[in-house]
Structures are given as structure tokens and as C-alpha cells.
């Protein structure tokens, strides 16, 4: 039905691993433990840092650490961080794109219902639910 992107999947694996560790974890450590390439791990971690889901320490002996408690981190937050905050419908992507099918589209509002329902559902699942 809705396919979770590989990247989002990977990120859940990484975050699950991080929720076990108290100390910092570097890209190479994470890559080794998860069998992902360093480049891929690095790409994902950058997105998670931007979304303030993990915090980073630069320089030697640096690494990443969860910035949020697993029970306060929702699946929706994670997926949004990785795949972007694109709306559910193509029509409401941005205000610029006119709706071709229905003028002054009331349809768009209806589709927001779908989007809202999905968002809500994913908001109610925490990383802790996924990991424990």
C-alpha cells in the first residue's frame, strides 16, 4: 500500500541501534554494526541531525547521539526527516502548482483528510514501540 523507503527503513535500524547506546557512535561504527556502507550511513545521519533527532559532535572522538527520548520520537518524525515533508497529495505540493482537474479545488481539502489520517497514525507510533 504505502511503501516505506529504504532510506527510512535504514534510519529506523540506525536509530534503534543508537537507542541502546549511551555513548557516542561514529559513522564507521554504525556502518559496521548495521552492514550499511559508510556513505549511506553518513547521508542518513546528516538528515537526522538537521531534523534535530540526533545531535553530533565533530572532530576526533566525535560521533552521534540521540537527541530525543525514544518514546518521544515518532515514526512520522523519522520518515519526514528522511523522505521530506512532502504532502500526501500531488495537488497540494506547493501553492504554485495549479490544480488542473478541478478549478478552485475543493478536492484538495478532501485529500488532506487522507494526509491527516496517515500523519496522525504515524504520530502515534514511537521509536520505542518499534524497537523494544
Partner DNA sequence: ATAAACCATACCAATTTTGTATGATTTATA
Partner DNA sequence: TATAAATCATACAAAATTGGTATGGTTTAT
41's grid cell: 550511513
Q: Please name every residue paired with 84 in a beta bridge, in sequence order, or none if there are none.
A: none
Q: Is residue 51 within the footprint of DNA (CB under 7 A)?
A: no
- Binders of DNA among 19-38, rule CB under 7 A? 25-28, 37
Nearer to DNA, 62 or 116 (CB): 62
State the Cα–Cα distance between residues 63 and 5, nearest whole angstrom. 25
Among 16, 55, 105, 112, binds ligand FES (CB under 6 A): 105
Footprint of DNA on 92-131 (CB under 7 A)? none
Q: Which helix (H) or strand (E) holds 57?
A: strand 54-57
With CB under 6 A as the contact rule, which of the stretches 16-24, 71-79, 80-88, 107-115 interacts with ligand FES?
A: 107-115
Q: Coil, strand or helix: which one is 117? A: helix
Collect all residues with Cβ–Cβ distance below 8 Å to 46 and sequence separation of at least 6.
none
Looking only at the bridges linking them, the beta strands covering 63-66 and 54-57 are antiparallel
Residues of this chain that bind its own copies (CB under 8 A): 1-6, 9-10, 12-13, 16, 34-36, 75-76, 79-80, 83, 85-91, 100-102, 107, 110-111, 113-115, 117-122, 124-125, 129-131
Amino acid at each position: 500500500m504505502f511503501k516505506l523507503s529504504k532510506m527510512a527503513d535504514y534510519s529506523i535500524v540506525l536509530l534503534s541501534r543508537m537507542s541502546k547506546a549511551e555513548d557516542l557512535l561514529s559513522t564507521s561504527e554504525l556502518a559496521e554494526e548495521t552492514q550499511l556502507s559508510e556513505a549511506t550511513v553518513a547521508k542518513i545521519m546528516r538528515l537526522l541531525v538537521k531534523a534535530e533527532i540526533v545531535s553530533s559532535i565533530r572532530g576526533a572522538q566525535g560521533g552521534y547521539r540521540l537527541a530525543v527520548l525514544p518514546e518521544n520520537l515518532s515514526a512520522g518524525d523519522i520518515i519526514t526527516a528522511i523522505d521530506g515533508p512532502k504532502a500526501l497529495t500531488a495537488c497540494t505540493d506547493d501553492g504554485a502548482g495549479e490544480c488542473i482537474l478541478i478549478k478552485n479545488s475543493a478536492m484538495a481539502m478532501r485529500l488532506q483528510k487522507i494526509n491527516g489520517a496517515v500523519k496522525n497514525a504515524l504520530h502515534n507510533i514511537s521509536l520505542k514501540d518499534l524497537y523494544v
